[in-house]
Structure 1
Amino acid sequence: MLDIKVMPQTTIRVKRNKRSSTFVVQNNSMESVGYKIKTTKPRDYIVRPNMGLIVPMQQAEVEVTLSESTVPDSSHKFLIEIYRFDWRRSLNDFKQYLRSSLPKPCWTSRIGILYEEEEERINKETVECSEDRGVITFFVHLYILFNVFYLFYRFFE
């Protein structure tokens, strides 16, 4: 029985400043498999590698890169197709197998794409404010400590 996992399972997140992201296809079974990745907009996305072989208990990392002119849309999807295939054969054999026999995939998964605005850089003002709070807290504690010592001194005078 095949045990295939894709991470992330539902959505690839692409940040605006990077324009690329990766996902992992894991083969957690004792059978070797071949995979092929298709997309609804092949001209907008570069998928590398878009097909490959995964030996038993191993994984493949796939990179998705947006083309320069691509305007990401949440309706764009990626289809991951898994085929039973002997990993000891070559990738060219796998390509030939897909072309010649038009096999039906034994496992498929669809994942979407989410275009994220780049995370807000840590605001310099926020950092300065938190540093100021640290300094202020230090001086407040120091002030309290001196007052305690002063009261202690006055009490035992």
Structure 2
Amino acid sequence: MSRSKQPQVLKIDPPQEIKFKGPFKDVVTSTLQLTNPSEKRVCFKVKTTAPRRYCVRPNSGFVESQATVNISVMLQPFDSDPNELLKHKFMVQTMFAPDAVDDMEALWKEASPADLMDSKLKCVFEQPEELVDIIIETPQTPTSTSDVMGTPQGGESGSELQSIMEECKRLQSENAKLKQVNEQLKGQPGSSGDGQDLLSQQKRMIIIFLLVAFVTGITLGYILS
């Protein structure tokens, strides 16, 4: 009658599965904790069904009595068939360590199957929440000039256009003020010289306003094209 294997002496956290949270374009690391609650030193070895996909540090060693060892399991970047990932599994194999160990590799080769304890863990791969919950929205087509102005296609062109529009508004305001002052001066005696100066200034402002409006039209047509 064959002797059954011993129950696992180490407390393994997590106990049943190793979780890896994406995105998986870079190395993703998960941690295993091996705790030895016994009064004896325990040696361990971490195995995987996909050794080319993972880097385990340390992948073997000792856990002293009442001590804990952290194992880093690093999943290498990948872009492969998801079905292949379902086959990935890990096994933590342990046994009580002898008083003196000269060759760890020889120790595992010569170990009796009845002395070995093992725990199997499956791999779970999770995508980040922002990728799972993402909603692709169709951009709305602007229905008015104000919509287009609010979302310029080019950052630099949009800034220039905004400056031009602000300058146009300022010139329009000043032009309105000059007209009002000119109308008031027309009704006052001895104000012909001042009126002429204001009239000349008003004409210059109108010319500038027309030039700015012309440039604005060209710029707006370039952005919307």
TM-score w.r.t. length of structure 1: 0.65
User: Does residue 83 in structure 1 map to residue 95 in structure 2?
Assistant: yes
Question: 1:112-151 counterparts in 2 under 5 A?
Answer: 112-120=122-130
Q: More strand per residue: 1 or 2?
A: 1
Percent of aligned positions with the same letter in both sequences? Answer: 27
- Contact 2:47 / 2:92 at 8 angstroms: preserved in 1? yes
- Runs of 4+ aligned residues of structure 1 deviating over 4 Å after TM superposition are none
1:33 maps to a residue whose letter is V
Give the letter for the 1:50 counterpart: N
Match of 2:52 in 1: 43
RMSD, matched Cα = 2.6
Corresponding residue of 2:86: 74
Q: Give a deviation string over 1:97-124, Cα, whole Å, max 9, x none.
A: 123x143253110001111112339xxx
Partner residue in 2 for 1:5: 11
Q: Which runs of 5 or more residues in structure 1 are unaligned? A: 122-157
Partner amino acid, structure 2, of 1:97? L
Structure 1 residues 43, 66: CA separation in 2 closer, same or farther (over 3 Å shift)? same
Tell me if the contact between 2:8 and 2:94 (Cα under 8 Å) persists in the aligned partners. Answer: no
Contact 1:34 1:94 in 2 (8 A): no
Please give the alpha-carbon distance, in whole angstroms, between the structure 2 residues aligned to 1:108 and 1:77: 13
Which structure has the highest helix share of the two? 2
Q: Does 2:43 correspond to 1:34?
A: yes
Q: Is the 8 A contact 1:21 1:63 kept in 2?
A: yes
How far does residue 66 in structure 1 lie from its aligned partner after superposition? 1.1
Using the alignment, how far apart are the partners of 1:89 and 1:22 within structure 2? 29
| Other-structure match for 1:95 | 105
What is the identity, as a one-letter code, of the residue corresponding to 2:43?
G
2:64 counterpart (55, 58, 78): 55
Aligned residues: 119
Amino acid in the other structure paired with 1:115:
F
Does residue 25 (structure 1) correspond to residue 63 (structure 2)? The answer is no
Q: Which has the higher contact order (CA 8 A, sep 6+)?
A: 1
Tell me if structure 1 keeps the 8 A contact 2:15–2:121: yes
